[in-house]
Structure 1
Amino acid sequence: MRKYLSVMSTLAMAATLSAHAAETIYVGGFGGSTEQLFKEKIIPPFEAKTGAKVVYVPGNSTDTLAKLQAQKGKQEMSVALIDDGPMYQAVGLGLCAKVEQSGAVKELYPSARMLGDSSVGIGFIATGLAYNKEVFAKNGWKAPTSWNDLTDPKYKQKVVIPPITNGYGLLTLVMMSKLNGGGEATMDPGFDVMTKKVAPNVLAWEPSPGKMAQMLQTGEAALVVWGNGRVQAVVDQGAPVEFVYPKEGAVVIMTAGCVVEGAPQAVLGQQFLQHVVSADMQALLANSQGWGPVNKTTKLTPDVMERVVYGPEKVNALISPNYLVINAKRAEWTNRWNRSVER
């Protein structure tokens, strides 16, 4: 009898793996080095565990969101990995299913549990300042410490900030408003400071990460607004560059994930999201991409801990933007920015 049960159990397991083996799950996510990490290190153990095949569809966050909108009701993707701003839009449009509250999801920091439990953060990125140390030393400038340094006339034509269509430019506007009596709901102070004090210092509103990295390396850009992960990649290439957490606080950008509403492989989608936020996979993302772990149980080496947003103290110090207000006003702000700030 015991042998019979064992055989039946083995057959059942084989049938389960066979069923998954016939399944292909499509995951929309970031391109570049992130795509490479997923294909080489994150996807293979998931495929080995489930027997399923994962097809990774690279694209920036707005492209992936557009695909989800275009395919609503007949989705091809089962999981979407995008930045938190567009993710709030996806949730608001009903494109994300509820995340199962089990497994590794229960190990996440509260701030990684996104509104409505239809998506979760998969990595913390701090938005702050970065500067070229050689340029600062040559000019006798002290290291920047504050968002308000962007308004200092001595940096005229030495500041580079991404445009408002990029998360970093948008968050610079939000912080300028917050520091001058406004906020997401009252953006006039932010536009006033950006137009009169920040814009005269800006050499370029640069959307390309590659071009931004080059300008920071060469010193053409002395001071920039960027994410700690992006800056670390420049430092790793040997450039005399340093990231600064402004004294008023760095702003969090979360990379986020959701299982697509109406996903063709919803069960595998939930399993894949659990896999991505597991402690081991979070450590890989921290080591390779500079994303701060959202899983509280993740263990990192001391040198990686220094480079990323790690631990309750750093996580809790991050400023969280109000994307419910931001997304409702984004088009209006973009038009105003193009008219008054980036002329």
Structure 2
Amino acid sequence: MTKRIDRPFGHMFGAPSRRDFLVGLGAAGMGAAGVAAGATLALPGAARAQGGSLVVSNWGGDWNERTVRFVEEPLVEGKGIRITRDLGMEPERKAKLLAERRLRRGTVDVLHINEGDSFEMFSQDVLTEIDFSKVPNYADVVPALKTRPYFTPWLYSGVAIIYNKDKVPNPPKSYAELFDKKWVGKVGLTNQLYFNYIMMGSLLAGGTVTDGEAGKAKLVELKELVQPRIYAAHQQLGAGLATGEVDIAINYKARGLQWRNDGAPLEVQYPEEGAIAVMFGAGLPKRAPSPELAHVYFDAMLDRKAMAGLAGASFYAPANGAAELSPELRALIDFTPDQAAALKFPDYAHVAKNTAEWLEWWNKTITR
């Protein structure tokens, strides 16, 4: 029987804390020195086999498009492995896998997910531990990000304030400054980040991200004071910024950089309270029909060239310390040492207990 491990951030058997790692990253960047030689070796056993089929559960839109372009087509389908893509928002995809727990064999081999949801899915017997000996490129992942044996870390960012520099000459420098009537109708939120917004409210109410009730009360205050526009997904929010429907968005730094790269006159403000951190990756469903091929997929996700391509296209920072990024790109997508030190890492045990109730509350209270 495998032993379940849920180590809190910063307690990884002597490894530097995640925040310590990010501070170092902001100061000097992630170097490729010391990369394990085993990272270039072929996968053992059945994972070397060509062919077979794989079902990948992922978000749709531009996120999936980049996944296909940099990972799936060249590094997985290029091996002759057929991929069926099961695309959708995370609540629906999580519900599907929760329903499959009673089945002897499930329908999904790879689950794209954020770190918090991975904790929840493992706690509910949906995900299983990954055999990272079958994922050679995992050796390149910086040690401070190897926090969960059931989660392949991939890309990370933080929740920042994104604004139209042509229309907002004096942008809010903190989450707290968004609570001002001068921003009525000018702030955009997305349903995809409901849990981050509750954490933001909690941070403002009491200095931590774990008081959900206080966080919800602050969001009600924001709704009444600012009347934010609510968008279904990131893409719609980005379009709202581009067309001038809203002037400010609370979203990932990476998304702001993406939209600016697409031509929108945007800038990104790191909040004075410290940005709420987020990391994305993938997990292995316990009842996956093709677990060996799932390990091939995880290795492809962490390919250093693939991760460099993803970073350049998405502006998320890569978990692979050997990703081949230019110094200019690394400086753009990383955080400064002070910003890294101020990042707020969620308590995912707390999130897992509350996320379903939070989503129901968000839908009934904020989106209506």
What is the aligned length?
321
SS in 1 for 2:205: coil
Identify which of 38, 42, 50 aligns with 1:21.
Answer: 50
Letter in 2 for 1:160: G
The separation in 2 between residues aligned to 1:18 and 1:172, in whole angstroms, is 41
TM-score (ref. length: structure 2): 0.77
TM-score (ref. length: structure 1): 0.82
Does the CA contact (< 8 Å) of 2:118 and 2:150 recur in 1?
Answer: no
The residue number in structure 1 matching 2:36 is none
Tell whether 2:163 aligns with 1:131: yes
The residue number in structure 1 matching 2:270 is 245
The residue number in structure 2 matching 1:255 is 280
Identify which of 129, 137, 142 aligns with 1:104.
Answer: 137
Distance 1:211 1:275, change over 3 A: closer
Letter in 2 for 1:180: A
Letter in 1 for 2:358: W
Name the larger-Rg structure: 1
The separation in 2 between residues aligned to 1:258 and 1:52, in whole angstroms, is 19
Is the helix fraction higher in 1 or 2? 1
Letter in 1 for 2:84: V
Distance 1:61 1:134, change over 3 A: same
SS in 2 for 1:135: coil
Question: How far off is 1:201 after superposition?
Answer: 0.7
The separation in 1 between residues aligned to 2:111 and 2:120, in whole angstroms, is 13
Identify which of 51, 74, 97 aligns with 1:68.
Answer: 97
Identify which of 28, 40, 64 aligns with 1:35.
Answer: 64
Deviates more, 1:329-338 or 1:118-127: 329-338
Distance 1:27 1:154, change over 3 A: same
The residue number in structure 2 matching 1:327 is 352
Letter in 2 for 1:30: W
The separation in 1 between residues aligned to 2:308 and 2:221, in whole angstroms, is 43
Letter in 1 for 2:94: L
Instruction: Calculate percent identity across the aligned residue pairs.
Output: 21
Question: How far off is 1:337 after superposition?
Answer: 4.3
SS in 1 for 2:273: coil
Letter in 1 for 2:124: L
Task: Map 1:40-189 onto structure 2 (within 5 A).
Answer: 40-47=69-76, 50-72=79-101, 73-102=104-133, 103-115=136-148, 117-137=149-169, 142-163=170-191, 166-167=192-193, 169-181=194-206, 183-189=208-214
Give per-residue Cα distances to partners, 1:35-90, cap 9 Å, x unaligned: 33333332244347754333333323223323322333312222111223332222
Letter in 2 for 1:285: L
Deviates more, 1:228-237 or 1:193-202: 193-202
Distance 1:208 1:48, change over 3 A: closer
Distance 1:48 1:17, change over 3 A: farther
Question: How far off is 1:184 after superposition?
Answer: 4.5
Does the CA contact (< 8 Å) of 1:199 and 1:342 recur in 2?
Answer: no
The separation in 1 between residues aligned to 2:328 and 2:215, in whole angstroms, is 36
Does the CA contact (< 8 Å) of 2:115 and 2:151 recur in 1?
Answer: no
Give per-residue Cα distances to partners, 1:153-175, cap 9 Å, x unaligned: 22122212224xx22x3212212
Letter in 2 for 1:243: V
Does the CA contact (< 8 Å) of 1:17 and 1:50 recur in 2?
Answer: no
Question: How far off is 1:146 after superposition?
Answer: 0.7
Question: How far off is 1:273 after superposition?
Answer: 0.5
Does the CA contact (< 8 Å) of 2:273 and 2:342 recur in 1?
Answer: no
Does the CA contact (< 8 Å) of 2:109 and 2:285 recur in 1?
Answer: yes
Letter in 2 for 1:206: Y
Deviates more, 1:126-135 or 1:321-330: 321-330
Distance 1:208 1:339, change over 3 A: closer
Question: How far off is 1:268 after superposition?
Answer: 1.8
Structure 1 gaps, min length 5: 1-12
The residue number in structure 2 matching 1:284 is 309
Distance 1:190 1:35, change over 3 A: closer
Tell whether 2:321 aligns with 1:293: no
Distance 1:249 1:185, change over 3 A: closer
Identify which of 206, 223, 229 aligns with 2:231.
Answer: 206
Higher relative contact order (CA 8 A, sep 6+): 2
Question: How far off is 1:148 after superposition?
Answer: 0.7
Across the aligned residues of Structure 1 and Structure 2, the Cα RMSD in angstroms comes to: 2.9
SS in 1 for 2:49: helix
Structure 2 gaps, min length 5: 1-41
The separation in 2 between residues aligned to 1:243 and 1:41, in whole angstroms, is 26
The separation in 2 between residues aligned to 1:331 and 1:301, in whole angstroms, is 40
Give per-residue Cα distances to partners, 1:209-254, cap 9 Å, x unaligned: 3331222123331221011232223212221111222122111222
Question: How far off is 1:326 after superposition?
Answer: 1.7
